[in-house]
Amino acid sequence: MESYTGICKHCGQTQIVKAESQEDANERTTLECSCPGGELERTKKHVREQLDVLIGELAPDNGWDPVRPEVFETIKAMADRIAENLISSCAMRVDGTNLKISRSKDKINIERSKTVRQGGSIEK
């Protein structure tokens, strides 16, 4: 890793960062920036991490099946719109489970759930 002058892609503020490339440096600077754009990028990153845990590559560690990559991208895009406050909530059924992403005052809640029912009828 080398030192680069990263540029926040929202406000243009610069910062010296260690990075792999100029593009990587810009990404890092944007993620650390205190401007509203930087704050939004951080929110999206945290949302993405939570999606990884519930429906993405880390899902199996938590007892869930990961969704197909194209489905993940669709849900990620929806979650980004929620982070941007353009959509306030969405709920869907995916692979037999429920997924709900919603926005409250200062939080984004992401929840995956499934209902398991078991039982039988016995003739008497």
Taking CB under 5 A as the criterion, the residue among 7, 11, 31, 90 binding Zn ion is 11
CB of 10 to Zn ion, least distance (A): 4
The answer to whether 8 contacts Zn ion (rule: CB under 5 A) is yes
Instruction: Report the helix count and the strand count for the chain, using DSSP H and E.
Output: 3, 5
Backbone φ and ψ for 46, nearest 5 degrees, come out as -65, -40
Taking CB under 5 A as the criterion, the residue among 19, 33, 83, 99 binding Zn ion is 33
Check: CB of residue 43 under 8 Å from CB of residue 108: yes
Could you tell me whether strands 14-19 and 108-113 are parallel, antiparallel, or unpaired per DSSP bridges?
Answer: unpaired
Taking CB under 5 A as the criterion, the residue among 6, 26, 27, 38 binding Zn ion is 38
With respect to Zn ion, which residue has the nearer C-beta, 35 or 94?
35
Query: Residue 93 burial (CB < 10 Å; 0-12/13-18/19+)?
Result: exposed
Taking CB under 5 A as the criterion, the residue among 7, 10, 24, 80 binding Zn ion is 10
Interface contacts to Zn ion, rule CB under 5 A: 8, 10-11, 13, 33, 35, 38
